[in-house]
């Protein structure tokens, strides 16, 4: 079932939109300098040392062009560093003065046929969000083995910035630099929508792209701010769905299932399990409707089918009591319910404070980890890989050690209260030998890649453990407790 909203124009697959948009803007920019596109055929036998290669280029002057005329130029002292990672290339510029463009950005690498031209290497950004300061095309002009200049193209309006200088290094090792510079300070749905509206890009693709970025950046929900950001991304996905419907006369497009998928995921993150479940079901239904309406054949996997099915199964397994099976027809994907979110934020805010963990909360967390270990044991036994279960049990056991010592430190008992007959005390002794560092290492692990992410709602286990561990370390430092 798809939401009943009205929409005006047929949609094409996202990749087709991106590809056509890039080429449209690139052709406009190239036409301004009367380029001869017919000559852009390169020899397969001509090796190109600059294609898909790291480099450092020091620029000493620049030119900025718009509408066929130079609007600014002059000396400049900036280093352009490019690093390849898979099928993308990252650029960073250190100082560009008053030039209106980002200093840190990425391009896609579409392959030799697209990237290697007669006199240049070309990279492009697959996007629907044509922010005026975000480069969408890069040209690296060369002659023989010499790099002559680097050009970046922006749009809204179409604009070129060219940097002239000297190649100082080619093929250097990657440093993994990814200092992604934000396009702005927009961190709420309202600010993002106002910005897109300001440069004429308030459309389904651009809003969806911004929403996905915001969701992915905060999907771990490790703190209150990230939880709030998930709500803002939900507002953007709902707006993208409204635009999708308004632009397409109420019919499902190839964009509709993925938008519904993210709406379902956002609701799942903020605790609205019933809403998440039925919106995911609407997403699955929208896949069939979209394929029926589209002249193109697209694999269902590209429309979110696997993720939608997995999400529904996860809710059925872990939150079956929250599913109201008589509500499918009345679920509105445009509805945003923040009641459970407000409760979660309140609890997480409390957890961020250095409060003494209670006896009950420490015991609950030990029991919770034990239950998860038991689930791994059962799963390993079912697939006939008992050793895998043992490995997972041992990996999770380390998260109990600070709880055992906190139990003793706060005088709720002894850490040995949790030992079973035959258990080795060696792991306890090893942990105790460097307790603060080991506990901090666990905090870092929980904040970056929590192993409990698939067993919790709103990062409840992860955030509670972090709060206990931090309070434990703080109280040791303040001599409030001794272990």
Look at residue 172 in the predicted model and tell me its pLDDT. Answer: 92
Look at residue 175 in the predicted model and tell me its pLDDT. Answer: 85
Look at residue 17 in the predicted model and tell me its pLDDT. Answer: 37
Nearest to 195 by CA among 245, 241, 130: 130
What is the dihedral sign for C-alpha 138, 127, 88, 46?
A: negative
Rounded CA separation 437/185 (Å): 35
Write out the CATH class of domain 32-170: mainly beta
Burial category of 199 from C-beta neighbours within 10 Å (exposed 0-12, middle 13-18, buried 19 and up): middle
Cβ–Cβ < 8 Å for 126, 22: yes
Cα 242 versus chain centre, distance: 23
Q: For residue 436, count other CB atoms closer than 10 A to its CB.
A: 12
Written as one string, the DSSP assignment of 418-435 is GPPTT--SHHHHHHHHTH
Look at residue 11 in the predicted model and tell me its pLDDT. Answer: 34
* Model confidence, pTM: 0.59
Nearest to 348 by CA among 442, 224, 204: 224
Cβ–Cβ < 8 Å for 88, 97: no
Look at residue 343 in the predicted model and tell me its pLDDT. Answer: 67
What is the dihedral sign for C-alpha 50, 51, 54, 59?
A: positive
- Spans in the chain with pLDDT lower than 50: 1-47, 181-184, 351-352
Q: Give the pair of three-digit tokens for residue 173.
A: 């090792």
Look at residue 239 in the predicted model and tell me its pLDDT. Answer: 97
Rounded CA separation 85/394 (Å): 34
Rounded CA separation 265/257 (Å): 12
Q: Which residue has the tokens 């600059």?
A: 50
Task: List, for residues 441-461, the tens digit of each pLDDT value.
Answer: 999 999 888 888 877 766 788
Sorted by where each begins, the domain ranges of the chain are 32-170, 189-340, 353-477
Nearest to 141 by CA among 109, 159, 167: 167
Q: Which residue has the tokens 């609407």?
A: 282
Cβ–Cβ < 8 Å for 403, 366: yes
Q: What is the crossing angle of helices 401-409 and 460-477, to 10°?
A: 50
Look at residue 347 in the predicted model and tell me its pLDDT. Answer: 60
Which helix (H) or strand (E) segment holds residue 68: the answer is none
Q: Which residue has the tokens 């397969």?
A: 44
First to last CA, the chain: 59
Look at residue 6 in the predicted model and tell me its pLDDT. Answer: 38
Look at residue 207 in the predicted model and tell me its pLDDT. Answer: 96
Cα 31 versus chain centre, distance: 36
Look at residue 477 in the predicted model and tell me its pLDDT. Answer: 85
Residues 6+ apart with CB under 8 A from 236: 189, 192, 193, 207, 208, 210, 211, 214
Rounded CA separation 17/247 (Å): 15
């Amino acid at each position: 079932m798809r939401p009943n909203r009205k929409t005006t124009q047929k949609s094409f697959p996202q990749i087709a939109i991106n590809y056509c948009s890039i080429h449209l803007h690139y052709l406009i920019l190239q036409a301004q300098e009367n380029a001869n596109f017919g000559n852009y055929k390169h020899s397969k036998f001509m090796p190109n040392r600059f294609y898909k290669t790291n480099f450092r280029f020091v620029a000493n002057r620049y030119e900025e062009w718009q509408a066929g005329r130079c609007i600014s130029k002059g000396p400049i002292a900036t280093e352009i560093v490019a690093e390849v990672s898979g099928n993308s290339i990252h650029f960073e510029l250190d100082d560009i003065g008053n030039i209106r463009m980002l200093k840190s950005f990425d391009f896609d690498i579409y392959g030799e046929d697209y990237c290697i031209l007669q006199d240049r290497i070309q990279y492009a950004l697959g996007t629907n969000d044509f922010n005026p300061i975000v480069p969408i095309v890069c040209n690296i002009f060369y002659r023989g083995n010499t790099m002559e200049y680097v050009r970046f193209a922006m749009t809204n309006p179409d604009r070129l910035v060219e940097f002239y200088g000297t190649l100082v290094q080619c093929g250097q090792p990657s440093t993994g630099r990814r200092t992604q510079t934000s396009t702005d300070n927009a961190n709420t749905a309202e600010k993002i929508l106002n910005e897109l509206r300001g440069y004429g890009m308030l459309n389904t693709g651009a809003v969806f792209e911004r929403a996905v970025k915001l969701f992915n950046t905060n999907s771990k929900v490790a703190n209150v701010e990230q939880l709030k950001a998930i709500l803002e991304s939900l507002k953007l996905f709902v707006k993208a769905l409204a635009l999708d419907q308004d632009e397409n006369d109420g019919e499902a497009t190839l964009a509709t299932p993925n938008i519904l998928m993210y709406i379902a995921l956002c609701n799942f993150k903020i605790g609205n399990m019933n809403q998440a479940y039925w919106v995911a079901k609407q997403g699955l239904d929208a896949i069939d409707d979209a394929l029926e309406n589209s002249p193109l054949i697209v694999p269902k996997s590209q429309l979110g089918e696997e993720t939608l099915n997995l999400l529904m199964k996860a809710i059925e397994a872990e939150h079956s009591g929250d599913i109201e099976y008589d509500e499918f027809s009345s679920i509105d994907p445009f509805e945003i319910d923040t009641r459970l979110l407000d409760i979660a934020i309140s609890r997480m805010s409390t957890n961020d404070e250095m409060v003494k963990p209670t006896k009950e909360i420490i015991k609950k967390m030990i029991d919770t980890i034990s239950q998860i270990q038991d689930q791994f044991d059962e799963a390993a036994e079912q697939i006939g890989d008992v050793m895998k279960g043992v490995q997972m049990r041992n990996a999770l056991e380390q998260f109990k050690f600070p709880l055992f010592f906190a139990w003793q430190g706060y005088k709720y008992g002894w850490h040995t209260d949790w030992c079973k007959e035959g258990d080795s005390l060696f792991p306890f002794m090893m942990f105790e030998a460097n307790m603060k560092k080991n506990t901090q290492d666990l905090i870092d692990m929980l904040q970056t890649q929590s192993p409990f992410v698939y067993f919790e709602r709103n990062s409840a286990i992860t955030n509670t453990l972090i709060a206990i561990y931090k309070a434990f370390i703080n109280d040791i430092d303040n001599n409030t407790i001794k272990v």
